[in-house]
């Protein structure tokens, strides 16, 4: 059986004629039986899509024809089944919601550090702050050893979280990281603008680090925004799931907890279940999960 190719990538460069481009991508995706999400805006493209090899290659070839997108890079992993239910192409104000004016990754990006360079720094115990810019529920699934959490529930909270960071961080070497790198394209330049002097961003994020360095200096898995829920350092799907009630990602140990009840509750929402239980049907479970994934950044 031919494996499903999961691709995720972003690129900041001007995109013109958005409605026309959206229609073209929708038609191409339908012809190629691709599923996932493609976000387009005047600032660039952000996608996470899955399909057969010939289909993902054809999509990338089309995107790379656009002026400024010849170097569009992606992270790739394999799965035995399609992790998305449908295809969505959306026009957005930002391809990653941040809400701060004056941050333009296409014009300026903070210095990047490769996974191997970061591994060397950590091997040598170089004094460095690893700043996890992801949401708290993602961090709970896994992160770098000793990483400092931004302590946010949505990426748009990040600017306010920066104001709460220890003052001495402004003089320290900081490496920001996230799932695939896109959030750091805005987080790191914003921190520089706020007076942090030694900022780097992990190139390609955790997924790229997994690809290049595996599990070294990392604990746990990485949350992903599709039906796989989590991938391990070998980029294989884990056994994590989403809670039916609150949509919190649950690792295997969470599913073994006494407060976990299938289609009812988990350790994070136990006692807060809705008085009227949602109907336990395949359709209702699917609709609830899809709605929750749409809300995730």
Q: In this structure, what CATH number is given to the domain that contains residue 139? A: 3.40.250.10
* Shared domain check, 244 and 216: no
Domain boundary among 61, 91, 121: 91
Q: What is the per-residue pLDDT for 273?
A: 59
DSSP 237: B
Instruction: Return contacts of 280-289, CB within 8 angstroms, 24+ apart.
Output: 285/244, 286/85, 288/244, 288/247, 289/227, 289/242, 289/244, 289/247
Rounded to whole angstroms, the Cα distance separating 261 from 243 reads 9
141 — pLDDT class (breaks 50, 70, 90): very high
Which CATH number fits the domain that encloses residue 59? 3.30.70.100
Rounded to whole angstroms, the Cα distance separating 149 from 23 reads 39
Partners of residue 199 on adjacent β-strands:
174
Asked whether the predicted pLDDT for residue 285 surpasses 80, the reply is no
* Shared domain check, 263 and 166: no
* Shared domain check, 276 and 180: no
Full residue range of the structural domain in which residue 77 is found: 4-91
* Shared domain check, 216 and 243: no
173 — pLDDT class (breaks 50, 70, 90): very high
* Shared domain check, 116 and 67: no
* Shared domain check, 116 and 213: yes
272 — pLDDT class (breaks 50, 70, 90): confident
Active-site hit among 178, 184, 222, 243: 178
Interacting residues of 43 by C-beta distance below 8 A, sequence separation 6+: 12, 14, 15, 94, 95, 104, 105, 106
Residue 13: inside a domain: yes
Compute the half-sphere exposure of residue 121: CA atoms within 13 Å on the CB side of its CA: 17
* Shared domain check, 268 and 209: no
How does pLDDT run across 69-98, given as a tens digit for each residue? 999 999 999 999 999 999 999 999 999 999
Residue 146: inside a domain: yes
Cβ-contact 124, 115 below 8 angstroms = no
Q: State residue 31 phi and psi, 5-degree precision.
A: -65, -35
Compute the half-sphere exposure of residue 267: CA atoms within 13 Å on the CB side of its CA: 10
Rounded to whole angstroms, the Cα distance separating 140 from 225 reads 15
Cβ-contact 218, 206 below 8 angstroms = yes
* Shared domain check, 193 and 122: yes
Annotated active-site residue 178? The verdict is yes
Rounded to whole angstroms, the Cα distance separating 252 from 221 reads 11
1 — pLDDT class (breaks 50, 70, 90): confident
Indicate the length of the chain as a whole number: 297
pTM: 0.88
Please state the rounded mean pLDDT for residues 220-236.
95
State percent of the chain over pLDDT 90: 89
Please state the rounded mean pLDDT for residues 261-275.
84
| Per-chain mean pLDDT for the chain | 92
Of residues 80, 67, 84, the one with CA closest to residue 8: 84
- Could you give the number of structural domains in the chain? 3
* Shared domain check, 177 and 118: yes
């Amino acid at each position: 059986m031919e494996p499903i190719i999961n691709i995720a990538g972003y690129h900041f460069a001007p995109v013109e004629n958005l409605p026309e481009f959206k229609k073209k991508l929708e038609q191409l995706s339908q012809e190629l039986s691709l599923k996932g999400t493609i976000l387009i805006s005047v600032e660039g493209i952000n996608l996470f899509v899955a399909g057969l090899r010939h289909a993902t290659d054809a999509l990338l070839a089309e995107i790379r024809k656009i002026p400024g997108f010849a170097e569009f890079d992606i992270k790739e992993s394999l799965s035995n089944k399609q992790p998305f239910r449908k295809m969505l192409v959306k026009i957005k104000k930002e391809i990653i919601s941040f809400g701060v004016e004056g941050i333009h990754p296409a014009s300026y990006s903070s210095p990047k550090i490769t996974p191997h360079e970061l591994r060397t720094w950590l091997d040598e115990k170089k004094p460095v702050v690893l700043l996890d810019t992801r949401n708290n529920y993602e961090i709970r699934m896994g992160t770098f050893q000793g990483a400092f959490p931004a302590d946010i529930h949505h990426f748009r909270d990040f600017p306010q979280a920066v104001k709460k960071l220890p003052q001495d961080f402004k003089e320290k070497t900081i490496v920001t990281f996230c799932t695939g790198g896109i959030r750091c394209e805005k987080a790191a330049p914003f921190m520089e603008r706020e007076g942090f002097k030694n900022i780097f961003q992990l190139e390609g994020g955790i997924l790229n680090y997994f690809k290049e360095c595996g599990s070294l200096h990392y604990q746990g898995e990485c949350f992903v925004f599709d039906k796989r829920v989590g991938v391990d350092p070998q980029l294989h799907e884990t056994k994590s799931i989403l809670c039916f009630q609150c949509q919190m990602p649950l690792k295997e140990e969470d599913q073994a907890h006494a407060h976990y009840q299938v289609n009812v509750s988990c350790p994070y929402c136990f006692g807060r279940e809705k008085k009227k239980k949602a109907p336990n049907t395949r359709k209702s479970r699917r609709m609830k999960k899809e709605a929750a994934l749409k809300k995730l950044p």
